[in-house]
Structure 1
Amino acid sequence: MTATAPAPPRRVEPDAAPPVVEDSGISRWVPAAAVVVLWVVVWAFTRGTDTLDLPSLSRTDLHDRLTEIQNGLLEGRSTNPVMQFTNAIADAFRGTVDWLQRLLSKPAFPRPVPEIGWLGVTALATYVGLVVASWRIAVLVLASFLSFGVLGYWDQSMDTLIIVLISVLLAVVIGMPLAVWIGTNARANAVVTVFLDLMQTMPTFVYLLPIVLFFGIGTSAAVVATLIYALPPIIRIAGFGIREVPATTIEATDSAGQTYWQRLLKVQLPMARKTIIVGLNQTTLAALSMATLASFVDGPGLGKPVLQGLRVNDVGTAFVPGALIVVMAVMLDRTTTAASERSERVARGGGHRNPRLRRVVVAGGAVVALVAVYLSRTYVSLAEFPTYSIGRTISSGVSDVVDAIKDTFGGVTGGLKDGVTEGLLNPVQSVLADSPWYVSFVAIAALALVFGGVRALVITVVCLLGVLWLDLWNDAMVTLNMTLVATVLVMALALVFGVWMARDRRVDLGIRPLLDAGQTIPPFVYLIPVLALFGPGRFTAIVAGIVYAAPAAIKLVADGVKGVSPTTIEAGRSTGQTTWQEITKVQLPMAKGSLVLATNQGLLYVLSMTVIGGLVGAGALGFDVVYGFSRSEAWGKGAAAGLTIVLIGVMLDRITRAASDVRRDDGPGTRRAFSLRLPIGPPGN
C-alpha cells in the first residue's frame, strides 16, 4: 500500500506485519510449556495413584441409577405423555418407511413384488437427475442405481435412500423457516447459533443413546437420528445466505414499498438460492452419514452389512456395501452441486444453450420413465433385481488382497503402528491418564487459561467437573489422549500440504479434488481400509480419524495461507527472505486465524472418529458407548460415556475458539474467519 492510499494509518501494510501476531503466539507457548513441564515432573512422582480407573465392564452407582431412569421411562411408555408423543412419532415414521419400502424394493401384499420395482425406480431417478441437472448427472445416477443391484445390495441401498429422503425433506420443512428467522433477525441468530454449535460439536455416535430411549430401535430411531444430525447445515448455511443479501438491495426494496413477505420471497430467497442449495447439499451428505451410522440402532440400510463386517474383522464383507455408500455419497453430492450450478445459470438468464433440444429431451425422458414404470409393474423380472454373485466375488477377492497385503507389508504397518504407539501415544496417555485425577484436572485447566483466557478456563472447569461426576475420568483421559495425538498428526499434514497447495497452483488443482472426495465419504467407511491395514486397536481409530479430519484441516490451512496479502509477501522478498523464512515468518503467522480454525475442526472431527473407533478395539469412551448399546443393564454407563464425550467436545471446542480471539491488532479479517463453522461428519465444506 502506498503512502497516498486513502486509508487510516493503522491499517497500512507495515502496521499489519506479522511480528505482532508472532509475539502473541510466543507469549502463549512459553507458559504452556511451563505447565506441561511441571505436569510431567509431578506425574513422575505420583503416577498410578488416584487415577479413578474403572474396569471396562464395571459400572458405578451413578451408571445404575441412569439405567433405572431408562427402565422407568420404558415401563411408563403407555402412560407417560412424553413417551406417548414420541411413540406416535415413531409409529408415523415406521409407517412411512414401510410404505416406501413396499413401493420401491419389497413385496407389497397382495403383489409378490414391489409396486414400482427396480427398473421403474432407476428410470425415475435417472429422469430426476436429467431434469434438475444435466445428462451427465443422469448417466451418473443411472450407473449408481445399477451398481446397487448388480453388486447385490438393492434392498439395502433403497432403505438407505429412503431414510435419507425422509430426513432431508423434514430437515428442509423444519430448517428453512428457522433459516429465514436467523437470516432476518440478529437476536434469533445469536440464540439459535448456540444450539447449532452444540449439535455440531456433539459426535454423531452420541445422538443415538437418547434417541433409542424415546423412539426405540429400528427405522424410527434411524429417521430421528438422521433428521437431528442433518438439520444444522441447512439452517446455518441457508441463514447465512439470506443474511448476506446486500443491505443496499434491502433498502431499495423497502423504498419501493415492498412488504416483509414480498421482500423475502422476491428478493432475499432468490438472491440466496445458490447458498441455500449448498446447504441442501450439506444436509443431504450429513443425512447419508448418519443414516449409515444408524445401523447401530438396527436402522435399515447399507450400514448393517458394514457393521457386520467390522464386528467380525472381515474387511471383505464390509468392503462392497462400504463402496456403495461412497457411490451413493458421490451421486448425491454431484447431483445437488450440479443442480445448484444450473439453478444459478437459469436465474441469470443462461439456461441451456439449446432450450428447444432440452425440452425435447426432457419430454422424451418422461415418456421413457413412464414406460419403464409400466414394465416394472407388469413383469416380475423387471420388478425384482436379478441375483448376481458379483458382490460376493468382489468381497472374496478383497479378503484375499487384504491377506496378501498383510503378509507382504505386515512388518511395515506393524512397525509404523508400534512406533507411533510407543513413541507418542503411550507416553502422552501415561501423563494424561496415569496422573492423579486432580493433577490432570489442574493442568488441563491451566492450559485452558493460557490458550483461551478466563472464559475458556470457566468452561473447562465446568466440563471437567462434569466428567468427574460421570465416573469415567480415566476413560475420558484415554479418549482425550487419542484425540490430541491424532490432531497433532492432522495438523502436521495440514501444514505440509496446506502450505504446498497455497504456494503452487498446480498442486492445489491436483490435490483439492481428492480432498473434496475425501470429505464426501461418510466417516463410518474410513474404518474399513484402516482396519485392513492395521487390525483392531487404538491406532486404527487414530489413523481413521486422521484420514477423516485431514481434508478439512488441509483446505483451511491452504485457504488461510493463500489469503495472505501479496503486497506483504513481496515486501518480504524484497528484503532477501528465503522461502523457509517467508513461510515461517510471514505466511503462517499471518494465517494464524486459519490455523487455529483448522485445529478446532481437526479436534472435533478426530473426536468423532475416535468414538466410532470403539467398534474396532479403541476402548475407552467409544467402547463404553458400544457396551451401553449392546447390554440393556449397561445403558446407564453408555449414557454417561456419551455425556462425557459431549463435555470433552465442548471443552476442546471452546478452548480453541477462545484461542482464536487473538489480539485486535491482528485485524478484523483474522477474527472474522472464526465465525465459520464446519459440520462434523459430512464433508465437502
Structure 2
Amino acid sequence: MSLTFAPAPTEPGAEAPPPPERRSLPRWAWALVVVAVWIVVWAFTKGQNTLAVPIREHSDVQNQLTDFRNSVLASRDSNPVVQLTYNLGEWFGSVFDWASRMISIPDLPRPVPQIGWLGVTAIATWLGLAVAGWRIAILVAASFFSFGLFGYWSDSMDLLIVTFVAVAAAVVLGLPLAVYYGTAGRTGTAILTTILDLMQTLPTFVYLSPVVLFFGIGASTAVVCTLIYALPPIIRIAGYGIRSVSTTTIEATDSSGQTRWQRLTKVQLPMARATIVVGLNQTIMAALSMATIAAFVDGPGLGQPVLQGLVRNDVGGAFVPGMLIVVMAVMLDRTTTAASEASEKAARGGVDVRLRRIVLAVTGVLALVAVYVSRQSFWAAEFRETSWGPRLADAVDSFFTWVTDTFHGVTQAMVDGVSTALLNPLQELLAESPWWLVGAAIVALAFVFGGIRGVVPAVVCLAGIRFFGLWHDTMLTLTMVLVGTILVMVLAVVLGVWMARARVADVVLRPFLDAGQTIPPFVYLIPVLGLFGPSRFTAIFAGVVYAAPAAIKLVADGVKGVSVTTIEASRSTGCTRWQEITKVQLPMARGSLVLAANQGLLYVLSMVVIGGLVGAQALGYDVVLGTSRSEEWGKGAAAGITIVLLGIMLDRIMRAAALNDAVAKDPTKRSWWRGMAA
C-alpha cells in the first residue's frame, strides 16, 4: 500500500509554488559515459585504421607543400611578394650587422668592436640608473660582467641586439594597433582579437618554418620570428590599459572641448602608462624567449651554444649559456618592472628632480669616459678568456653525473610510474583507436564540456588534422600534452591551495614562481635532459616545470579570492578543513581552475613540440626534421599546421567550457562575444 499526498491548497491570488527542479547528470558524469563507450569500442577495434605511417613517407598534401616551398624559392627573383619579404629581411639583417659590429664582434679592419665591453657595460648601467634607480643599475652591471666572465660576451650581445631590434619594431607597429584596440570598441576589434588569439595559441617552434621560407635563415629570420611572436602582448595589454581609463575622466575632459587626438595624448595614454609598461615588459620577455629558440634557424645569440649542447647531450655545455639567458631574462624583467614603479613615483612627485639630474649628469660623464677608454684600450674593448665558463660546465656535468648515478632508481621510478599509470594507457587509447573513433569521442567530449561552441572548432580542426596526414603523430603529441596537463593541475591545486591558505607558503613560493615565468622555455630542457636523458618523458617533465608557475598562481589567486564571509559561513556549519577546501573554495574558484588548465595545456603543448629536439618524437620531431632537411619540408610544414590546429581545438574547447560555467552562474553572459571576452 502506498500513500499519496495532495498538494496544499493555495490561497486565491497567491503564486503557485515553483515546479521541482529537474536534475540532470553533471558534465563530468557524461564525460565518463563517453570515455566508457570509447573504451568498449576500442577493445574490439584497437590497432585498426590508426593512420600510422613511417617517418619518411609523405602524403600527397605533404608533397604539395614541398612543391610550394620549391616554387617560392625558385621565384625569389620574379615574385614581388618574395622579393619584398627578402628585402625586408635583408634590412633587418643589415641593422643587426651594424649593431653587432658596434658592440659585439670586430669591425674589420678594427680588431675589436667600435665600443668595447667596458663602454657597453657603462652605458647599460647608466640607462638602468636613469630609468629604474641604483639597485637596477647594480643588477645591470653585474649581469653584463657575467656575460664576459663566463666567456659568452659576443653571443649575449647578439641575443640582446635581436631582442631589442624586434622589440623596437613591435613597439612601432604595436602601439598604433593598441590604440585602435583600446578605443574602437569590442565589435570593431573582433577580427584583431581573433588574430591575437591565434598568435598567442601557436607554440613558438611553429613560427620558424614559414618565416624561413620567406625571409631565409640567420639574423633576419630571428628578428622577424621574434617580432611576430612579441607583438600580441603589447597590443593586448596596452590596449586594455587605454580601454580601462575611467569613462568619467574622459567625459570630464571632453566637456572642455578637446579633440580626439588631445584626449588620446593628454588623458588616455598618460593614465594608461603603467599598463603600457607592463605590456612592454611582456613583449620584451616574449622577444627574448623567441630569439633564443630562433637559434634553430641559425639565429645568432646564446641560443646557439644551448642548441649545440642539447644536440650533443652536453648538459654542462648547455647549462652555462642557459644560465646567462636566465640572468638576462631576470635583468630585463626587473628593469622594466622597476621602471614602471619609478615612473609612477616620479609622477606623484616623490623624486628630487634637481638631485636626480645632477646624479645622471655626473654618471653620464663617467659612462662617456668608459666608452672612450673602451675605444682606446684593448683590455677594455675585448674580454680576456677566463676559465669560469669551462669550470662551471665541468662542475655541472659532474653534478648531474652524480645525481643520475645516485638517484637513478628514483628518476627511473618516476618515469616508470608516470608511463605505467598515465602515459602508456592513454597513448594506447588515443593512438591505437581507429581514427574515426577518436574523432567521434573528442567531438562528444567537446559537446559535453562546451556545447555547440566546443563542437564546431573540434570538428573543423579534426578535419584539418586528418587532411594533413599526421593523425597518428597528433595522437602521440596529444597523449603527452594531456599527461603533462594532468600533472600540472595536480601541482597547481596542491600548491595553489596551500599558498591561498598559508601566507608563509605564498611569501616563500611566489618569488620562485615569478622567477620561473621569466625563464625562456628552451632553457628548461637543459636540467631535465640531464636528469632523464633524451626521451618523451623529458619533454613532458620540462613542460610540467614550464607550465606549473602560471597555473599555480592562477589557482592560488582564485582560491584566495573566495569571499571571507562565505568561508566563515561554512565554518559555522561545522565544515572540516578538507570539506572547506573541496566543497567551498575549489568549487567557487572553478573559473580560475579552468583558466589554469587552459594556460597549462597550451604551455605544455609548446614545450612538448620543442621536446622534439630531445627525443620526444611525434609532431615536434616532424617539425625538426622538416626544418633541417629540405626534402622533408612538406612534412614539417604539415606538422606545424597540425600543431596549430591541435592547439586551437584544445583552446576553444576549454574556452567554451569556461563560458558554459559563466553562463550557469550568470545567464546574462549568454552573448558569445561577451563570454569570450570574459
TM-score normalised by the chain length of structure 2: 0.94
Q: Work out whether 1:487 is the aligned partner of 2:489.
A: no
Higher gyration radius (CA)? 2
- Secondary structure of the 2:107 match is coil
SS at match of 1:58: coil
User: Counterparts in 2 of 1:521-600, with a 5 A limit?
Assistant: 521-600=519-598
Corresponding residue of 2:402 = 404
- Aligned-pair distance for 1:600? 0.6
2:56 aligned partner: 57
Letter in 2 for 1:430: E
Match of 1:9 in 2: none
* Equivalent position of 1:463 in the other structure: 461
Match for residue 642 of structure 1? 640
Q: SS of 1:374's equivalent?
A: helix
- State the distance in 2 between where 1:330 and 1:88 align: 34
| Residue 60 of structure 1: how far off its partner (Å) | 1.9
Q: Which residue of 1 aligns with 2:202?
A: 202
* 1:245 equivalent in alignment to 2:241: no
Distance 1:134 1:663 in 2: 44
State the match for 1:235 in structure 2.
235
| 2:312 equivalent in structure 1 | 312
What code does the residue aligned with 1:133 have?
A
Measured after TM superposition, the shift of residue 524 of structure 1 is: 0.4
CA distance in 2 between counterparts of 1:92 and 1:381 reads: 33
The alignment status of 1:332 with 2:332, answered yes or no, reads yes
Find the aligned partners of 2:223 and 2:677 in 1 and give their Cα distance: 28
- What does residue 260 of structure 2 align with? 260
Say whether residues 1:497 and 2:490 are aligned partners. no
Checking the alignment, whether the CA contact within 8 Å between 2:543 and 2:605 is kept in structure 1 is: yes
CA contact (8 A) 2:655 2:676 kept: no
- Alignment of 1:438 with 2:436, yes or no, is yes
Contact 1:183 1:243 in 2 (8 A): yes
1: CA distance, partners of 2:211 / 2:325: 23
* 1:448 equivalent in structure 2: 446
Q: 2:476 corresponds to which residue? A: 478
SS at match of 2:252: helix
Counterpart for residue 221 of structure 2: 221
Amino acid at match of 1:422: T
Cα deviation code 1:133-156 (max 9, x no counterpart): 010100000000000000000000
Cα distance change on mapping 1:426 and 1:138 into 2, 3 Å: same
SS of 1:79's partner is: coil
The offset of 1:589, in angstroms, is 0.8
Deviations 1:202-245 (A, max 9, x none): 10000011000000000000000000000000000000000000
**1:184 Cα offset (Å):** 0.5
Structure 2 CA distance for aligned equivalents of residues 603 and 348 of structure 1: 42
Any idea what SS the aligned residue of 1:53 has? coil
Q: Are the counterparts in 2 of residues 151 and 388 from structure 1 also a CA contact under 8 Å? A: yes
Contact 1:593–1:674, Cα closer than 8 Å, also in 2:
no
1:666 paired residue number: 665
Is the CA contact (8 Å cut-off) linking 2:619 and 2:640 kept in structure 1? yes
Q: In structure 1, which of residues 418, 421, 424 is the aligned counterpart of residue 422 of structure 2?
A: 424
RMSD over aligned CA atoms reads 1.6
Cα deviation for residue 424 of structure 1 reads: 0.9
- The amino acid of 1:194's aligned partner reads T
Residue 607 of structure 1 aligns to which amino acid in structure 2? L
Q: Deviation digits for residues 638-678 of structure 1, max 9, x if unmatched? A: 0000000000000000000000012534248999998679x
Aligned twin of 2:506: 508
**Post-superposition shift, 1:72?**
0.6
1:412 and 1:665 mapped to 2: Cα distance? 45
For 1:631 and 1:300, locate their aligned partners in 2 and report how far apart those are by CA, in whole Å.
20
Shift of 1:386: 1.1
Q: Give me the whole-angstrom Cα distance separating, in 2, the residues matched to 1:566 and 1:673.
A: 28
| 1:244-270 deviation per Cα after TM superposition (whole angstroms, max 9, x unaligned) | 001000110111111101111111000
- Give the 3-state SS of the residue equivalent to 2:26 in structure 1: helix
State the 1:357 CA deviation: 3.4
The code of the aligned residue for 1:646 comes to V
Query: Residues of 2 paired with 1:55 and 1:401: CA distance?
Result: 39
Q: How many angstroms apart in 1 are the aligned matches of 2:619 and 2:411? A: 26
* Structure 1 residue 359 displacement after superposition: 2.5
Q: 2:44, 2:667 → 1: CA distance?
A: 46
Report the 3-state secondary structure (helix = DSSP H, G, I; strand = E; otherwise coil) of the residue aligned with 1:576: coil
Tell me, yes or no, if the aligned pair for 1:597 and 1:674 is still in contact at 8 Å: no
Indicate if the aligned counterparts of 1:120 and 1:369 stay in contact, CA closer than 8 A: yes
AA matched with 2:596: A
Relative to structure 2, which stretch is displaced further, 569-578 or 279-288?
A: 569-578
Match of 2:341 in 1: 341
User: What residue number does 2:102 align with?
Assistant: 103
Q: Are 2:443 and 2:455, in contact at CA under 8 Å, matched by a contact in 1? A: yes
Q: Is the 8 A contact 1:456 1:658 kept in 2?
A: yes
Identity of aligned residues (%): 65
Deviation per residue, 1:515-560 (Å, 9 max, x gap): 0000000000000000111111110000000000011111111111
Paired residue total = 653
SS of residue paired to 1:471: coil
- Give the whole-Å Cα distance in 2 for the aligned partners of 1:36 and 1:665: 24
Asked if 2 retains the 8 angstrom alpha-carbon contact of 1:448 and 1:655, the reply is yes
- Within-5 A mapping of 1:9-158: 27-158=26-157
Q: 1:280-326: per-residue Cα shift (whole Å, max 9, x none)?
A: 00000000000000001000000000000101111011000000000
CA 502–669 in structure 1, closer or farther in 2 if over 3 Å, else same: farther
* Cα distance in structure 1, aligned partners of 2:283 and 2:270: 20
Q: 3-state SS of the aligned residue for 1:392?
A: helix
Counterpart of 2:4?
none
Distance 1:664 1:90 in 2: 47
**Unpaired segments ≥5 residues, structure 2:** 1-20
**Aligned residue number for residue 358 of structure 2:** 360
Would you say the 8 A contact 1:615–1:626 is kept in 2?
Answer: yes
Q: Which deviations, in whole Å up to 9, do the C-alpha atoms of 1:313-358 show, x marking residues without a partner?
A: 110110000000000000000000000000111122222xx44433
Distance 1:308 1:455, change over 3 A: same
TM-score by length of 1: 0.93
Q: How do residues 582-621 of structure 1 correspond to structure 2 at under 5 angstroms?
A: 582-621=580-619
- Report Cα offsets for 1:181-219 as digits up to 9, x if no partner: 010011333221110000000100000110000000000
Shift of 1:110: 2.8
Are the aligned partners of 2:237 and 2:278 in contact in 1 as well (CA < 8 Å)? yes
Report Cα offsets for 1:423-478 as digits up to 9, x if no partner: 21010000000001111010011000100101210110110000000000000000
1: CA distance between counterparts of 2:387 and 2:565? 62
In the alignment, the residues of structure 1 paired with residue 658 and residue 61 of structure 2 have an alpha-carbon distance, to the nearest angstrom, of 37
Q: In 1, Cα distance between the equivalents of 2:282 and 2:662? A: 33
The answer to whether the aligner puts 1:160 opposite 2:159 as a matched pair is yes
**Is this contact kept in 2: 1:593–1:673, CA < 8 A?**
no
1:116 maps to a residue whose letter is: I
AA aligned opposite 2:88:
I
Shift of 1:34: 0.4
Which residue does 2:3 correspond to in 1? none
**Structure 1 residues 377-396: Cα deviation after superposition (integer angstroms, max 9, x where no partner):** 11122111111121011111
Equivalent position of 1:278 in the other structure: 278
SS of residue matched to 2:51? coil
Contact 1:594/1:673 (<8 A) preserved:
no
2:6 aligns with none
Amino acid at match of 1:401: F
**Residues 549/625 of structure 1: CA separation in 2 closer, same or farther (3 Å cut):** same
Structure 1 portions without partners, runs of 5+: 1-19, 678-685
Q: Which residue of 1 aligns with 2:625?
A: 627
Aligned residue identity for 2:59: T
Q: Given that residues 607 and 649 in structure 1 are in contact (C-alpha distance below 8 angstroms), is that contact kept between their aligned partners in structure 2?
A: yes
Q: 2:136 & 2:676 partners in 1: Cα distance?
A: 34
**CA distance, structure 2, for counterparts of residue 557 and residue 188 of structure 1:** 33
Q: Would the aligned equivalents of 1:459 and 1:654 in 2 still touch at CA under 8 Å?
A: yes
Give the letter for the 1:382 counterpart: A
In the superposition, relative to structure 1, how do residues 42 and 61 fare at CA in structure 2: closer, same or farther (>3 Å)? same
Q: Aligned partners of 1:666, 1:502: CA distance in 2, in Å?
A: 23
SS in 2 for 1:349: coil
SS of alignment partner, residue 108 of structure 1: coil
Alpha-carbon contact 2:230-2:283 (below 8 Å) kept = yes
Seen in structure 2, the aligned counterparts of structure 1 residues 67 and 460 have a Cα distance that, compared at 3 Å, is: same
Q: Is the 2:310–2:526 Cα contact (8 Å) retained in structure 1?
A: yes
